[in-house]
C-alpha cells in the first residue's frame, strides 16, 4: 500500500512517502532557498577558471555556470537547482521551468511534448488536444507529465493555465531593478502532491510520522550502517570531500558473496542517497569480486538509478578498483535538515 504522510519535524514542514510501510522518499523544509525558487538576479563578477560567475540575489550570492553574453550589472532570471554546500553560493540556472503535477511550462524550449511513460494513441491524442487548446498562441513550450494519464480534462487544462499564467507574469518582470525573489519554490507538502503518485492512504494529522513508524526509520538513516540482504552490510559516511560507501559481505563465505553484496548495494543505493539527501562525489569501496562480474554490477546499478529522479553520473572504475559516481546536490543532507 502506498501512503503519503504530511507532518512536521523540528518545527519544519515534512512529507514522507511509504510503500508497504517502508520509507521510500522524504522531504524536509529548511532555511535555505528552496529548489525551484526564481530570482531576478544581478550579474556580479566572473570566476576565472570555473566557467561561471557570481550573481547577487536577496538571499545571498548565487553561482551560474554560464558567462557567455552576460555583462556585470545585467539583470537576469535564474532558478535554484539544488542546495549549496556550507559557505558556498546558491546553484542556479537560466533555464527556467514552471512545474506542477500535470504540466511543466518551458519558456526556452517551444513545442508540445507528452511523457513517454504515457502509452496508447488515443490517450496521447487526447492530451495533445488539451495542451494545444490551453497553450493557444503562446510561444512557450509545454511538457505533460506522466500523472496526466487518465486524469480529468478540466484538471489538466486548469493546471496548464495556472503554470502558463505564472510563467507570463514572471517573464514580464524580468526587466525590473535590483535583485528580487519572484517565486518561492514549493515546500515539502506541495512537492509531495506535485511529484509523488496518488496514495491509497493520505495522513496529515499532527504526529502521523510517529504513528506510521517514520520517525524510527529516520533514526536508522542517521546511522552509517545499512543492512543488506543475506547478512551483508554497507556503511555510508559523508566527508567534506566526498561520500564514502564501504560494502561488507558479512557471514557469507561463498565464492559469489562479494557479487551478491555488491548487487544488493546497487539496488539499495539510490534509495539511501535520496533519503539521506546526499550528493556530490560518491566513492564505492565494494566487496571483492572478480573483474568479470563488474558488468553485472554496472548493469544493476544503472537500472537502479534509471528510476531515480536526481541526476546521477555513473563515472566508472578507478585504478584502485573503486566505483565512482557524481550526483546532483538536489537536497539538503538529512543530518543538516534535522538540526
Q: Clarify whether residues 256 and 326 are in a common domain.
A: yes
Confirm whether 234 is domain-assigned: yes
Confirm whether 179 is domain-assigned: no
In the listed set 214, 245, 262, which residue is the last one of a domain according to the structure?
214
Q: Clarify whether residues 108 and 122 are in a common domain.
A: yes
Confirm whether 56 is domain-assigned: yes
Q: Clarify whether residues 81 and 9 are in a common domain.
A: no
Q: Clarify whether residues 321 and 302 are in a common domain.
A: yes
Q: How does pLDDT run across 46-63, given as a tens digit for each residue? A: 887 677 899 999 999 999
Which pLDDT does position 71 carry in this prediction? 83
Confirm whether 183 is domain-assigned: no
In the listed set 95, 113, 140, which residue is the last one of a domain according to the structure?
95
The verdict on pTM exceeding 0.75 is yes
Confirm whether 46 is domain-assigned: yes
Which pLDDT does position 212 carry in this prediction? 96
Asked if residues 144 and 113 have their Cβ atoms less than 8 Å apart, the reply is yes
Q: Clarify whether residues 53 and 106 are in a common domain.
A: no
Q: Clarify whether residues 210 and 232 are in a common domain.
A: no
Confirm whether 301 is domain-assigned: yes
Question: What total number of domains does the chain contain?
Answer: 4
Comparing C-alpha atoms, which of 220, 241, 222, 209 is closest to residue 335? Answer: 222
Which pLDDT does position 49 carry in this prediction? 67
Q: Which domain holds residue 306?
A: 222-337
Confirm whether 187 is domain-assigned: no
Confirm whether 119 is domain-assigned: yes
Q: How does pLDDT run across 57-85, given as a tens digit for each residue? A: 999 999 998 777 788 889 999 999 998 87
Question: Which stretches in the chain have pLDDT values below 70?
Answer: 49
Which CATH number do you get for residue 228?
A: 3.40.630
Q: Clarify whether residues 68 and 83 are in a common domain.
A: yes
Amino acid at each position: 500500500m502506498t501512503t503519503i504522510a504530511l507532518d512536521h519535524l523540528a518545527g519544519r514542514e515534512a512529507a514522507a512517502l511509504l510503500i508497504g510501510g517502508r520509507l521510500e522518499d522524504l522531504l524536509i523544509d529548511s532555511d535555505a532557498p528552496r529548489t525551484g525558487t526564481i530570482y531576478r538576479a544581478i550579474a556580479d563578477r566572473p570566476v576565472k577558471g570555473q566557467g561561471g560567475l557570481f550573481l547577487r540575489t536577496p538571499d545571498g550570492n548565487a553561482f551560474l555556470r554560464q558567462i557567455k553574453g552576460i555583462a556585470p550589472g545585467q539583470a537576469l532570471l535564474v532558478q535554484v537547482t539544488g542546495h549549496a554546500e556550507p559557505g558556498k553560493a546558491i546553484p542556479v540556472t537560466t533555464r527556467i521551468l514552471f512545474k506542477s503535477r500535470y504540466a511543466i511550462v518551458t519558456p526556452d524550449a517551444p513545442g508540445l511534448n507528452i511523457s513517454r511513460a504515457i502509452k496508447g494513441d488515443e490517450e496521447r491524442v487526447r492530451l495533445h488536444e488539451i495542451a494545444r487548446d490551453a497553450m493557444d498562441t503562446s510561444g512557450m513550450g509545454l511538457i505533460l507529465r506522466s500523472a496526466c494519464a487518465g486524469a480529468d480534462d478540466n484538471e489538466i487544462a486548469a493546471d496548464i493555465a495556472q503554470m502558463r499564467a505564472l510563467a507570463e507574469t514572471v517573464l514580464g518582470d524580468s526587466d525590473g531593478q535590483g535583485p528580487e525573489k519572484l517565486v518561492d519554490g514549493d515546500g515539502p507538502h506541495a512537492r509531495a502532491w506535485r511529484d509523488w503518485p496518488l496514495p491509497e492512504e493520505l495522513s496529515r494529522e499532527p504526529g502521523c510520522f510517529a504513528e506510521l513508524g517514520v520517525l524510527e526509520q529516520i533514526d536508522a538513516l542517521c546511522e552509517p550502517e545499512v543492512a543488506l540482504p543475506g547478512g551483508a552490510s554497507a556503511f555510508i559516511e559523508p566527508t567534506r570531500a566526498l561520500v564514502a560507501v564501504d560494502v561488507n559481505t558479512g557471514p557469507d563465505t561463498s565464492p559469489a558473496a562479494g557479487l551478491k553484496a555488491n548487487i544488493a548495494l546497487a539496488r539499495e543505493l539510490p534509495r539511501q542517497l535520496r533519503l539521506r539527501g546526499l550528493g556530490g562525489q560518491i566513492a564505492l569501496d565494494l566487496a571483492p569480486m572478480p573483474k568479470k562480474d563488474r558488468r553485472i554490477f554496472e548493469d544493476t546499478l544503472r537500472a537502479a538509478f534509471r528510476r531515480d529522479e536526481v541526476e546521477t553520473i555513473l563515472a566508472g572504475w578507478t585504478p584502485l578498483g573503486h566505483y565512482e559516481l557524481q550526483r546532483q546536490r538536489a537536497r539538503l543532507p538529512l543530518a543538516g535538515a534535522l538540526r
